[in-house]
Amino acid sequence: MKILINGSKGRMGQAVAAAAKLAGLEISAECDIGETFTEADVAACDCAVDFSFHEASPELAEACARAGKPLVIGTTGHTAAERARIEAAAEKIPIVWAGNYSVGVNVLNWLVGKAARLLDPSFEIEIVEMHHRHKKDAPSGTAEKLLAIVESARGCDKSVEKHGRAGIVGERCREEIGVHALRGGSVVGDHAVIFAGEGERVELIHRAESRAIFANGAIRAAQWVCGGKAPGIYGMEAVLGLE
């Protein structure tokens, strides 16, 4: 199996390359800023893996759609217009699109959904994430996913989100969901979802200690999506059979 890596010089691109080699896969092309992929690069691969910048993902998705090649997207921070272009490409090819490819994080997602449905609204929800100082977007794609999960489980929309607090903010509304993004040092990625009730608290936490866990998950997704999947957008839940 041959893969194209877009964003090959970044931390995740390098981790994906290492994971691919360990899995016995061939890297047919490595692309980064100043080394834009070509139509021939896309045609020569079995699957493209994107860990670049949000601006680059739609162009790669469209090239994959023209070539009939599946795609794995790990890049986050896409604008609405960029998402629309990727979704249009997914009408022709299968795309695995996730904010986090860690197996553990995706189990966390599943557990958070279960907890949000089982614990009544008296359990107030706070989401806290921390990443290294170089991360450019906030909250993280994983935190955004966790937000979507709890909002769906509680039957609410994004109007309940409270991103950080400062000053005299008054008492906490029971319905609000607190979201906090911390940055510093070399933290690979920590995520915690806290369900705070009267007299008890449930905390679901995942801490990433190596980027290898994300890279291994991305390679697993690439192998899965190459198995004759129908066009559409898939999450890691589908890859892991959690749906």
The set of catalytic residues is 131, 135
Cβ–Cβ < 8 Å for 195, 125:
yes
DSSP string, the chain: -EEEEETTTSHHHHHHHHHHHHTT-EEEEEE-TT----HHHHHH-SEEEE-S-TTTHHHHHHHHHHHT--EEE------HHHHHHHHHHTTTSEEEE-S---HHHHHHHHHHHHHHHHS-TTSEEEEEEEE-TT--SSS-HHHHHHHHHHHHHHT--GGGEEE---SS--SPPTT-EEEEEEE-TT--EEEEEEEE-SS-EEEEEEEE--THHHHHHHHHHHHHHTTTPPSEEE-HHHHHT--
